[in-house]
Structure 1
Amino acid sequence: MKKIINPWTGMEGYNCIGCAPDNPFGVHLCFYEDGEDIISKWKPSANYQGWLNTLHGGIQALLLDEVCGWVVMRKLQTTGVTSKMETRYKRPISTDDTELTIRAHIREQRRNIVVIDATLTDSAGNICTEATCTYFSFPREKAERDMHFVSCKVEGE
């Protein structure tokens, strides 16, 4: 498993709620490449609860959407936007859980449309939430011009 280098770290104005390390309200995700999968580990807290001791469903969707975006960046070396997301909540996640695993990979790609499957697993290994994101990936030139994207490397590259 190799750590992915965040290409926007240190960029002025970069404040993504999912992955910006300095956003005081963000979830501060870091990502790793594990074969075809992109994964992240995250510890929930009561700051992100919906119901008592239960991780808010919107936060779960945010975590899954974010990992899907990083799949596009790392695997396709471009950026894009989510055009559709289907989320299935299978079991509640406790805000007291020690570590969640967020994992995603490309299911299929047709030109600039990418379908990505993602899961959110609790520390006991139970899949709690699943999502399928349909992503519209940008041409490399647009990613560079509009999103300041150069490349998405792993440590050691």
Structure 2
Amino acid sequence: MQPLPHTRSCFVCGEANPFGLQLRFATDGRVAHTRFRPRAEHIGFRQTIHGGILSTVLDEIMVWACAVGTGRFAYCAELTVRFSRPTPPEEELFVTAELVSNRRDRLYEAQGEVKNAAGAVIASATGKYVPLKDADVPMMLADLIGEWRPEKQGGG
């Protein structure tokens, strides 16, 4: 597994964001991976992790799946999440995502899953992503901590 960079400011991976999740991501060259242990502060109702937290993590990992698959960072244009079972706090979750299509570097489609330690699917998602404009890439790269050397051709 190759570690992926993280940022200073991002809610999901930003190391300088005191309110964030501070997750770290890795890739096997095709699939993006992370582990996540939601805390009590992430509860929405009756000791269940808020769906918005899971949606946020799925969005972030699908962004990384797009970056791994294309060499470019992207913004979310559409996110669809299906929740399969409630999740209590402090349960370790395993999140994966992969790029499923690249429409001429104008629109990427990715899919992701959150599973518990037993392998049960907690939530699954699909997303459509639009590559960052070339003018926005330097700002994104300036916030990264860690090396970003995309194997694919393209900005980022």
TM-score range, shorter chain: 0.7 to 0.9
Task: Could you tell me which runs of 5 or more consecutive residues in structure 1 were left unpaired when the two chains were aligned.
Answer: 9-13
Task: Could you tell me which runs of 5 or more consecutive residues in structure 2 were left unpaired when the two chains were aligned.
Answer: 151-156
Helix, strand or coil: the match of 1:75?
A: helix
- Identity over aligned residues, as a percent? 25
How many corresponding residue pairs?
Answer: 146
Q: Which has the larger strand fraction?
A: 2
Range that drifts further, 74-83 or 88-97: 74-83
d(CA) in 2 for partners of 1:144, 1:35: 22
Cα displacement (A) at 1:146 = 4.3
TM-score by length of 1: 0.84
> Which residue identity is paired with 2:130?
F
What does residue 20 of structure 2 align with?
26
> Which residue identity is paired with 2:83?
Y
What does residue 154 of structure 2 align with?
none
Contact 1:5 1:153 in 2 (8 A): no
Contact 2:15 2:22 in 1 (8 A): yes
Query: 2:53 matched to 1:76?
Result: no
TM-score by length of 2: 0.84
Question: Deviation per CA, 1:118-146, whole angstroms, max 9, x where unpaired?
Answer: 0011121111100001000125x334344
Cα RMSD, aligned residues only? 2.0
Contact 1:77 1:152 in 2 (8 A): no
Cα displacement (A) at 1:34 = 2.1
Query: 2:95 matched to 1:109?
Result: no
Question: Deviation per CA, 1:100-129, whole angstroms, max 9, x where unpaired?
Answer: 111000111102200000001112111110
Contact 2:47 2:89 in 1 (8 A): yes
What does residue 42 of structure 1 align with?
36
d(CA) in 1 for partners of 2:54, 2:94: 11
Structure 1 runs of 4+ aligned residues shifted over 6 Å read: none
